[in-house]
Amino acid sequence: MKKQAMVSCAQPEAAESGIEILKAGGNAVDAAVATAFAQTVVDPLMCGIAGFGTAAVYMPGKSTHEYFDFHSPAPLAAREDMWEALLEGETKDGFGFVLKGRVNDIGPQSIAVPATLKGLEAMHRAHGKLPWSEVVAPAICWASEGYFVRPGMHAFWIDEPAYGRASNLDRLHYCEESRALYCREDGRPKAIGTPLTNPGFANVLTQIAREGIAPFYEGDLARKMIDHLQSLGALVTMEDLRECQVKRAKPLVGSYRDRTITTNQPPGGGAMLLEMLNILEQFPLGDMQHNSVEYLRTLSEAMKKATIDKDRYIGDPAFVDVPLDELISKDRAAQIAAEIRAGHRFNVERVNPGAKVPRDTTHLSVVDGDGNCVSMTHSLAMPSGIITPGMGFYYNGCMGVFDPRPGRAGSIQPGKSRFSSACPTIVFKNGQPEIVLGAPGGTQIAMGVLHVLLNMIDHGMGMQEAVSAPRFSSTSNSIDVCNRIPRFITRELQAQGYEVGRNPYNYTIGWVHGVQITESGLQGGADPGRDGVAYGVTLDA
């Protein structure tokens, strides 16, 4: 008897690595960890071992369904009011704050505690089947033997700077190591198709494959990292590395129509996703024309309300009393829906809002031949621009999303993790997994995932059609649309008094990658806005 397995992610090389691990007898967790390691090599501004993430693991044979949350906490040396006097503004879509000197955005003080490597190791130790060294090996090969610059990578590298924030070219240029790896002699990013190798990172990964993660968190790699970062004025210390913890949590569970939705706990974006689904369940979306004026207005108001609630209430539950029961209450959602139906418009407050900023992050979805499922989103937030000489990987820039104003859900506190819209999700129908999905895209992650779920559940689309359909978002008082939403729709919204922002890209608002489990087999979806793929493989039982 043959079994199917599938990996969907934004990088062909990484998906290949996951498939090879499945073919070698690995399970979904092995494949996810191998894919994630490969992503840190072949998409170095999108993710890294010094980043953060959140992952859903469902293993029916072990009666396991849990999340591994490895968010990057603020260093213990951070203080709630340390940047309060530097505040200049906030990005329009809520993806971070603009400070004088950009100290939170690029450079040494933008770095929070690296957590991704610890998260990957925890997942593998708990549920992996193959040896650790075997799941790290594909990433070592990519780093040492090489890959090339893909169109999606290059487009991200040359993104123009936005209001007050560092451009991605700034990040590529920030340190000598980065310029040598990714730029030409004249400073331009290396062209599409240019071969890349990263021998320094290959050496780091080889040591991790051989010795485990201890060198990175308390040994010689840790000392090399901290000595370098401290010399630059970073806040991260050896104590931060030693104290970094992975949280294993139960899923946050909700429902939509006849499906059970399982997603992540705060400070992840799962509560936002469930709040929006609960509101929209009150409307006959399947009877509305897809992406009609009524459809855009209804979804946008739900998005705005969830954004307002996120800004006010959702933070690290170890530091913030998050009113989860209220936020995902069906009764409250019905009241909000009644307001939307009556024409009410919600107001999203921003401090001196500027333009949107580029967003990084990546995602992978895996289903193996035994029905095990993994959905993982991991990121650098925006890369800090710093690479320790000879080590080959960027440190995260997670401090940029913390609110510099004290006393708020997203305020800086030592050891606190900031909100992330990441919401890797698994949907069940009749008790069985049906959809495994998630996305990169900053504040737009939950919006992209929401669209795909509505496309599949209310509009009957398959996975690839659902991730390819035109999307829009409202994480501010503007309705932001991709360029495939026609102008005769947006003109009518403008006539109703809505501000509309048109994105020049045809595929934007999150970049969703997922797997649909059907009676006829696995169906993959890879968002056309990235370089992604959904690779399937048939395995012997």
Distance between CA 270 and CA 252 in Å, rounded? 7
361 is annotated as an active-site residue: yes
Token digits of residue 108 = 């040494």
Q: Using only the alpha carbons of the chain, give its radius of gyration.
A: 22
Distance between CA 497 and CA 148 in Å, rounded? 46
Distance between CA 32 and CA 12 in Å, rounded? 14
Token digits of residue 352 = 């001196």
Angle, in degrees to the nearest 10, between helices 445-457 and 293-313: 140
- Beta strand pairing status for 472-473 and 521-526? unpaired
CB 417 within 8 A of CB 77: no
Work out the number of other CB atoms within 10 angstroms of the CB of residue 341: 12
> What distances in angstroms separate CA 197 from CA 147, 172, 528, one per listed residue?
7, 16, 26
User: Cis ω on the peptide bond leading into residue 267 (within 30° of 0)?
Assistant: yes
Torsion-angle region of 169 (φ positive above 0: left; ψ -120 to 50: alpha; else: beta): alpha
Residue 17 parent element (H or E): helix 12-23
Residues 188-210 as b/e (b if ≥16 CB within 10 A, e otherwise) read ebbeeeeebbbebbbbbbbebbe
Of 528, 527, 473, 529, give the one whose Cα is nearest residue 501: 473
CB 262 within 8 A of CB 274: no
- Beta strand pairing status for 52-59 and 478-481? unpaired
SS3 assignment for 350-397: CCCEECCCCCCCEEEEEECCCCCEEEEEEECCCCCCCECCCCCCEECC
Of 142, 146, 153, give the one whose Cα is nearest residue 192: 153
Exposed, middle or buried by CB within 10 Å (0-12, 13-18, 19+), for 160?
exposed
- Which one of 54, 91, 262, 361 is the catalytic residue? 361
CB 140 within 8 A of CB 134: no
Residues catalogued as catalytic: 361
